[in-house]
Structure 1
Amino acid sequence: MKKIFIVLLVTFAFAKTYSQGPPLTADKPIMLGGGSFIAKTLTEIRVSEDGTATRVPLMLHYLPTSNTLVAVHLPYVTYDYDDFRGSTLGDINIVGKYQFYRKDGTGKTFRMVAKTLQTLPTGEALDIEGISTGKYSGYYGVVAGYESLKYGISNEAGYSWMPDGSLDKLVYKLGFGLPLLKPTYPVNQLNLYFEYSSEWFLERDQFELLYAQGIQYARKQWTWEAGVQVPLSQNVPEAVERKYSIYLGTRFIL
């Protein structure tokens, strides 16, 4: 009986630990239980050659079941460039996810999720991709991830379609998570994230490869995270070349 209790305790702690994602700039297919609600924000301060744009979203996630998720992201955007500056409501995102594959083992799991992100043209036409374009786009992708008590790996591949613009793109993301503390319940976890993001803008014949280094601390229902993203390779106009982005976030699970 004692051995069974220990196994159940470790399993429950593991479930709570890996459910603290997703990482900063990537995504992963691990979901919480049905009926869960998450309120979070992840501010991005993006510094480019000709100015700075900041996106501060209020992100509300709800899981109707343990394998489905719906969310809305309401962003407030400020920008300060050489020729224009101001603040505005950014492009609102509607997110949907469905977990269609799951294989669990002892202290490990592999899962796959179908994902869509619909960007509504609520922001100004600033042509700042991912922040405020003022144009509709639809993203469709698949996220696959493996997690154990020692590490996590996530992959995401997808396509974003902008029918009235020129920002159609292929996306591939690769992320690694490294927990630094042993699994406990209540959750008390410190994670490091190493994330790569590549985007091919087909109509503009442009390409970006970005790397993000992040750290995350989770305590009970709260999580705090911070990270820095830098370009490894860019084939974009010089005026919009990224120098770096800073990410700061908080989330709370109800």
Structure 2
Amino acid sequence: MKTLIKTGLSILCVWAGTAWGAPITFNTALPVHEGGYVLREQFIYMKIADDPTPAQRDMRVSGVMSVLGYGVTSDFALFGMLPWFNKRLDMTMGGEALTRRESGVGDLTVLGRYTAFQRDTPGRTLRIAPFLGVKAPTGEEDARDGFGRLPPAVQPGSGSWDALGGAVVTWQTLDLQIDGQAGYQASREAKGFQPGNVLRIDASLQYRLWPRNLGADVPAFLYGVLEASLAHSARDRIGGADDPNSGGTTLSITPGLQYVTRKWIVEAGIQIPLNQHLNGTALRNDYVITTGFRINF
């Protein structure tokens, strides 16, 4: 279920007013041009149903991630991200089927990213950009149904103020782009529950599939995308004590495609776990499907 937290780090941006291939599941170091905006909408569907217990827990999450970025200067950009979730948890309790669900706006994340290193040569660029941000508790964290208060995983929000930071590096040529990111999210306690802190390391390759030869009048590009993500989540804490059935390490890959024009991008990818070493009876991810678009103006 930490996929919901990890998805919150996926913010994309653009370079010098032109749309380029970029990671689907995380950040890039290419800047938003000064005074410009980038709008990104991602539509996400998650299946988290690999349950090792007799409860047969089956969680489905659909949602929309809305991201708006602004280029304050040529080196510094601000981003705001606000998700909307529809969450449903089916399970068996006492021999009877039970469904708990909730939908609503999630927590707002605001972050700044600064280009600390830049080297441009003909046909290629290398950039390194640290980022720092905060997640505010704008989502409902005390939703209830006929069975009482919903479990934290089904709540739209967390109720806590969290900090996140890291750095991203991008190397881009005319044919391909390679991105890498290291990020950390530190969560605080709210109403007796504290999600485990998350460390995430990502890598992405975007390779131009079409056209094979560049020309002066090429209107668009098709990129193949392959990404890898290693995420480690500490155990959650409930009432001041560690939850033994939470946290762990997951290695995932995400193959995808991007159709890129000068002003907008359409993209799709599916994240598949290769290895999940989770604690106790923590619910395991099945897959995450992501589609969306990005416009810069």
* Interval containing the TM-score (normalised by the shorter chain): 0.7 to 0.9
Following superposition, the deviation at residue 22 of structure 1 comes to 3.3
Alpha-carbon displacement from aligned partner over 1:19-52 (angstroms, at most 9, x marks no partner) = 4243210221011321111112012111110121
Counterpart residue type for residue 295 of structure 2: F
Find the residue that maps to 1:241 and give its secondary structure.
coil
Following superposition, the deviation at residue 86 of structure 1 comes to 2.1
What is the aligned counterpart of 1:135 among 160, 184, 191?
A: 160
- The residue number in structure 2 matching 1:6 is none
Partner Cα distance (2:79, 2:253) in 1? 26
Partner Cα distance (2:20, 2:176) in 1? 13
Counterpart residue type for residue 39 of structure 1: L
- The residue number in structure 1 matching 2:59 is 51
2:253–2:271 Cα contact (<8 Å) kept: yes
Aligned-residue sequence identity (percent) comes to 25
- Does structure 1 residue 206 correspond to structure 2 residue 222? no
Following superposition, the deviation at residue 162 of structure 1 comes to 0.8
Question: Which segment is superposed worse, 216-225 or 232-241?
Answer: 232-241
Matches of residues 25-174 of structure 1 in structure 2 within 5 Å?
A: 25-49=25-49, 50-82=58-90, 83-125=99-141, 127-128=152-153, 132-164=157-189, 165-174=194-203
1:186–1:219 Cα contact (<8 Å) kept: no
Partner Cα distance (1:54, 1:39) in 2? 20
Following superposition, the deviation at residue 60 of structure 1 comes to 1.1
Find the residue that maps to 1:199 and give its secondary structure.
strand
Find the residue that maps to 1:242 and give its secondary structure.
coil
Runs (5+) with no aligned partner, structure 1: 1-13
Matches of residues 4-43 of structure 1 in structure 2 within 5 Å?
A: 19-43=19-43
Find the residue that maps to 2:34 and give its secondary structure.
coil
2:230–2:251 Cα contact (<8 Å) kept: yes
- TM-score, normalised with respect to structure 2: 0.74
Partner Cα distance (1:214, 1:246) in 2? 10
Following superposition, the deviation at residue 179 of structure 1 comes to 1.4
Partner Cα distance (1:67, 1:146) in 2? 16
Aligned in 2, Cα 1:68/1:185: closer, same or farther, shift over 3 Å?
farther
- Which structure: greater helix fraction? 1
- TM-score, normalised with respect to structure 1: 0.86
Following superposition, the deviation at residue 87 of structure 1 comes to 0.8
Partner Cα distance (1:128, 1:174) in 2? 27
Count of equivalent residues: 239
Following superposition, the deviation at residue 152 of structure 1 comes to 1.2
Alpha-carbon displacement from aligned partner over 1:72-105 (angstroms, at most 9, x marks no partner) = 1121110111141121111111121110100011
Find the residue that maps to 2:159 and give its secondary structure.
coil
Question: Which segment is superposed worse, 182-191 or 131-140?
Answer: 182-191
Partner Cα distance (1:117, 1:224) in 2? 26
Structure of greater Rg? 2
Aligned in 2, Cα 1:144/1:227: closer, same or farther, shift over 3 Å?
same
Alpha-carbon displacement from aligned partner over 1:118-141 (angstroms, at most 9, x marks no partner) = 221222445449x74333221110
What is the aligned counterpart of 1:229 among 255, 268, 271?
A: 271
Counterpart residue type for residue 52 of structure 1: R
Aligned in 2, Cα 1:75/1:214: closer, same or farther, shift over 3 Å?
same
